[in-house]
Structure formats: C-alpha cells, structure tokens
C-alpha cells in the first residue's frame, strides 16, 4: 500500500493520514487482502519510542517543579488584572509588573509585552509625539530589565535545563515516529503503529473533536490486534480499553495506562 507522507518524511495532513490508514486497515477484511505478519522493523522502532516514556515523564515533572520554584511574577500567567484584583485573560510568558491595579470597570495589563507597549504608543503618539516616544522608550527599557530578571530566575530554578531536556526527548520521539510513518503499509505492525501515531497527532491537534477518529481507529485496531505482539499489542490494548480517558491519548507516546492517566 502507498504511504501518505510528504517528501520530508513528516506527516502531511495528520487527519488525512489517520483516515487513510484506518481505511487501509478496514480494507484488510475484504477477500484477497493480505498483510505480512513480519513487523518490518516496527517492533524495534516501537521499543525505542516506548523507551522515551519514563525520561519524558521525568522531564515534564522537572519542568513543573522548576516552574513552581519561580516567583509568581516570573511564571507564565494571565495577561490582565480586573478591577477586583483578579488575574484574567490569556496566559502569556511576559514577566508581570507587581502592584498593577485597574480602574473600576476596566482591565489593566499586568504582563505587557512588546505588542502591548507598541499599541499604547501608537494610541497617543499623534497627540503628544515627544512625550509618547519618551514614555515608549522608558517602557521598553523597563521590559528589558524585567526580562533579564526573569531569565535569571528561570536559570536559577533549573527551568531552562528541564525544558532543553524535554525538547531533546520530543525531537527524538518525532524522529522515531517519522520513521514509523514512512514504513510501507504492507505489514500488520506497520499499519497498527501508524494508526496509533496518527491518532496521537490528531488528538493533540484537535483534543475536543476526535471522538469519530478514535472510534474508527479502535475498530481497525481491534481487527489487527490478534496479529500483534509485544509492546505494540500492549499499547493497542490500552487504546481499546474503554477505561482509558480520551485526554490520555493527547500525551500518549507508549505510556502504560497508569502513567497516561496521570498525564
């Protein structure tokens, strides 16, 4: 069967990948369809993927612990403060200005970024250009000071090292999955592995819209399961287990069910 990857080996349209693989797997039930039982190398790739489970969980825990060590102003947080003093709005990574208050009925920007400073400058520069430019430059300098202080705090907390470790593991996983997705769909293991990887990407991209894809994948995987073995079969069993919450699939990289439920 033809695989559905672009020339770079990356997944091209992950919803289309999942749909094509599920259709291909369902077609195996037709008379005359035949798949080799050999895993065509997928067993080794799957074992390498699974080996990333524990260090990835450790890296994510290290990131959470490092974030907890940061002072509140240096952590990501809601961008605005309302007139009751409650934080609200989108979570951003800019450092907070402590002591910001909002007028009654208004919001105040507690974590201004470059775009916010520019917007504030543009709103007044036509009326008082000299004063506006002076205030804008002062705000940029103050932001630079806060960002340097934030960088020092993240380094001291170990966040930079923890994030670098997670990034390296994530890149290793993606490299392995690209090889899995590049396998020819001529073996049971390759088809099942690509369904699992494709489902993972689809859930990550659209976490609230995957009920149909998950059901279709489960039907195909249930058909393939008797011909699977080892870790891949165990992980297929997890997906077929109705007790495994759909949200666990978003972080699924070969986790056992208990670890996936904690993710």
Query: Which DSSP string do the residues of 77-146 spell out, in sequence order?
Result: EEEEE-TTS-EEEEEE-SPPPTT----TT--EESS--HHHHHHHHHHHTTTSHHHHHHHHHHHHHHHHHH
**46-96 tens-digit pLDDT:** 999 989 988 998 999 999 999 999 999 999 999 999 999 999 999 999 999
Res. 32: pLDDT tops 80 = no
pLDDT at 94: 96
Res. 148: pLDDT tops 90 = yes
d(CA 64, CA 85): 26
**Which of 90-99, 132-141, 163-172, 236-245 shows the lowest per-residue confidence on average (mean pLDDT)?**
236-245
- The mean pLDDT value of the chain amounts to 79
Domain positions in the chain: 14-41+183-262, 70-160
Percent of the chain with pLDDT over 70: 71
pLDDT band at 210 (very low <50, low <70, confident <90, very high): low
Q: At how many degrees (to 10) do helices 42-50 and 159-181 cross?
A: 170
Res. 7: pLDDT tops 70 = no
Strands (E) in 15-83, as ranges, are 77-81
pLDDT at 108: 94
**38-50 tens-digit pLDDT:** 556 888 999 999 8
**111-124 tens-digit pLDDT:** 999 999 999 999 99
CB atoms within 10 A of CB 81: 23
CB atoms within 10 A of CB 209: 11
Res. 13: pLDDT tops 70 = no
- 142 phi/psi in degrees, rounded to 5: -65, -40
d(CA 262, CA 242): 16
Indicate the pairing of strand 108-109 with strand 87-92.
Answer: unpaired
């Amino acid at each position: 069967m033809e695989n559905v990857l672009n020339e770079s080996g990356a997944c091209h349209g992950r919803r289309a990948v999942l749909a094509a693989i599920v259709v291909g797997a369902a077609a195996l039930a037709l008379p005359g369809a035949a798949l080799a039982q050999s895993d065509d190398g997928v067993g080794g790739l799957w074992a390498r993927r699974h080996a990333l489970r524990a260090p990835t969980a450790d890296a994510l825990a290290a990131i959470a612990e490092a974030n907890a060590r940061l002072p509140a102003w240096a952590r990501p947080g809601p961008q605005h403060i309302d007139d009751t003093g409650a934080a609200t709005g989108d979570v951003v990574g800019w450092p907070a200005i402590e002591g910001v208050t909002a007028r009654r009925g208004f919001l105040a920007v507690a974590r201004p970024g470059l775009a916010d400073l520019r917007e504030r400058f543009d709103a007044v520069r036509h009326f008082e250009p000299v004063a506006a430019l002076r205030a804008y430059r002062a705000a940029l300098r103050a932001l630079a000071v806060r960002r340097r202080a934030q960088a020092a705090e993240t380094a001291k907390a170990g966040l930079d090292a923890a994030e670098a470790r997670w990034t390296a593991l994530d890149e290793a996983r993606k490299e392995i999955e690209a090889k899995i997705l590049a396998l020819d769909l001529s073996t049971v293991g390759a088809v099942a592995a690509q369904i699992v990887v494709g489902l993972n990407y689809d859930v990550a991209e659209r976490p609230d819209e995957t009920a149909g894809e998950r059901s279709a994948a489960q039907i195909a995987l249930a058909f393939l399961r008797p011909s699977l073995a080892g870790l891949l079969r165990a992980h297929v069993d997890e997906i077929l287990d109705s007790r495994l919450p759909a949200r666990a699939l978003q972080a699924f990289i070969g986790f056992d069910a208990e670890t996936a439920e904690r993710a």
